[in-house]
């Protein structure tokens, strides 16, 4: 199942700088791991915002929920999830 996920991040400005650096490094490592294993298919930055648009490929909504909750930055995110279905006019849908 494919899901379009928008993540808007708001890290508190008063967070300890060392804690922030550790948090960001841990988040990056987790994102890279999920991309390498084929779960996080696309990761795009939204210009001018601390936000991204992503596409995840998972077996279920429960799996996506668990993945999102394990992201180190999740406590600082507003997340919007949209399930995706193949469009009949897409090249991939053509015989």
Please report, for the chain, how many H helices and E strands are present, in that order.
Answer: 2, 4
The pTM for the full model equals 0.90
Q: Given a cut of 90, is residue 10 above it in pLDDT?
A: yes
Cα angle 32, 37, 38 (rounded to 5 degrees) comes to: 100
Q: Please, what is the average pLDDT of the chain?
A: 96
Q: Residues in the chain, how many?
A: 95
86, β-bridge pairs:
none
> Can you give the residue ranges of every domain in the chain?
2-85
What pLDDT score does 59 carry?
97
Q: CATH for 2-85?
A: 3.30.70.1060
pLDDT tens for 45-76 read 999 999 999 999 999 999 999 999 999 999 99
Show the CA angle centred on residue 94, arms to residues 38 and 1, nearest 5°.
30
What does each C-alpha distance from 52 to 43, 64, 71, 85, 93 come to in angstroms? 7, 16, 14, 20, 27
């Amino acid at each position: 199942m494919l899901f379009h996920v928008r993540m808007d991040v708001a890290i508190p400005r008063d967070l300890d700088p060392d804690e922030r650096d550790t948090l960001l490094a841990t988040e990056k490592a987790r994102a890279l791991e999920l991309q390498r294993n084929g779960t996080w298919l696309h990761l795009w930055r939204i210009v001018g915002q601390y936000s991204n648009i992503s596409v995840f490929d998972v077996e279920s909504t429960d799996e996506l929920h668990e993945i999102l909750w394990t992201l180190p930055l999740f406590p600082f995110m507003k997340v919007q999830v949209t399930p995706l279905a193949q469009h009949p006019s897409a090249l991939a849908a053509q015989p």
